Structure 1
């Protein structure tokens, strides 16, 4: 496959890049600082805080799938997930590229957004620990970023692309196992953690599953 990867220097994105390259995919990585990616990688330099539509269109044009692991590196970058996804989507629509897989977070459905000002306070079906301890703790810890990810999901629901949202819980540094649970279109009970490498593996798998377009997939051990 011809893949374009955004957030390729991030916690999950770096694993997506390594696995995609190892699998022999034709990969383009989009990064603000290409020096972080090392040699042997096709890189397009772009800053999604100040996106250049021409540059982004050159990055996604002709791709079979675009994968995004966008996330802020510092406080000043809050907002990059929703704004960056909008810029990526605009470039995809301009070039006729359809398939998009993005990373989101468990519990995002409880965050108010303009189109859902009164979401459920708890995610039904997630169990007592998830509903009353884990998700509230994550919301307090991530704050603005959690809202930003919710806004990204809201945008995608109205976006004319073949998107899939991958919601992950706490990501940990662990080797790929290929052994994780998934839920398609509904919450996953006891979704406490997943390894970065396994999340990356699932992103690549979803990129080749067009039947998951327009759905939310949750993954955890």
Structure 2
């Protein structure tokens, strides 16, 4: 496939680019700073520098002729999201740009706390830990929820991947998933496995226009 990857310099985004290239896909990696893309130049990799992802006109040429889009966008931290929302504003430009370019398929990373809690998780998790986490990262989750709302209201064939805490473990390709519902005991997952899911779900019709929680 020919893919355009947004957020290519982040932890998940770099893994998406590496894994897609290793699988033989052609990748356009959209970045703001080429120096931050820790992926060696190789056949099939095209790097496009875009200063403002809210600029729909700048995005259309990067999407023409592509088969699908992967969004690995996210705030670098709560402070960044508090100052400038990232994913919601970007997807407001990406979605119409996809329509103009004739691209329909998209997967995007979100976060498990954006969705509902698993009722089988214990009182401490549902009554203490998650409320504190949502309060501490409220701006990050509000931005991701906005992104999900943009996709839900769009004609795009989207899938949202909601991971819990991200780790730097190796890719296993083996992880639990729950489609359209919470996943019990969703604690951690390697960034490399989130990237695996973002790529695998591109061709999985069972997760079309659904949110999927993934966890180790």
Instruction: State the TM-score, normalizing by the size of structure 2.
Output: 0.90
Q: Is the 8 A contact 1:48 1:87 kept in 2?
A: no
Q: Which residue of 2 aligns with 1:187?
A: 182
Q: Distance in 2 between matches of 1:186 and 1:101?
A: 17
Q: Which residue of 1 aligns with 2:58?
A: 55
Q: Is the 8 A contact 1:126 1:189 kept in 2?
A: yes
What secondary structure does 2:119 align onto? coil
Say which of 129, 136, 140 aligns to 1:141: 136
Q: Deviations over 1:40-97 (max 9, x none)?
A: 3311111335x33232011112211100011123534531110011111111011121
Q: Is the 8 A contact 1:32 1:47 kept in 2?
A: yes
Q: Distance in 2 between matches of 1:216 and 1:76?
A: 25
Q: Is the 8 A contact 2:173 2:193 kept in 1?
A: yes
Q: Deviations over 1:134-177 (max 9, x none)?
A: 42232133221111111111111111100001001000010011
Q: Is the 8 A contact 2:118 2:184 kept in 1?
A: no
Q: Distance in 2 between matches of 1:45 and 1:188?
A: 37
> Structure 1 unaligned runs (5+)?
111-122
Q: Which residue of 2 aligns with 1:220?
A: 215
Is 2:141 the counterpart of 1:155? no
Q: Is the 8 A contact 1:125 1:188 kept in 2?
A: no
Q: Is the 8 A contact 2:31 2:48 kept in 1?
A: yes
Q: Which residue of 2 aligns with 1:26?
A: 26
Q: Superposition pairs for residues 1-221 of structure 1, below 5 Å?
A: 1-37=1-37, 38-40=40-42, 41-48=45-52, 51-73=54-76, 75-77=79-81, 78-109=84-115, 123-128=117-122, 129-221=124-216
Q: Distance in 2 between matches of 1:48 and 1:130?
A: 38
What secondary structure does 1:12 align onto? helix
Q: Deviations over 1:20-52 (max 9, x none)?
A: 011110111000112222533311111335x33
Q: Distance in 1 between matches of 2:148 and 2:47?
A: 27
Instruction: State the TM-score, normalizing by the size of structure 1.
Output: 0.88
Aligned residues: 208
Give every structure 1 segment of 4 or more consecutive aligned residues whose post-TM-superposition deviation is greater than 4 Å: none
Q: Distance in 2 between matches of 1:13 and 1:183?
A: 22
Q: Is the 8 A contact 2:74 2:86 kept in 1?
A: yes
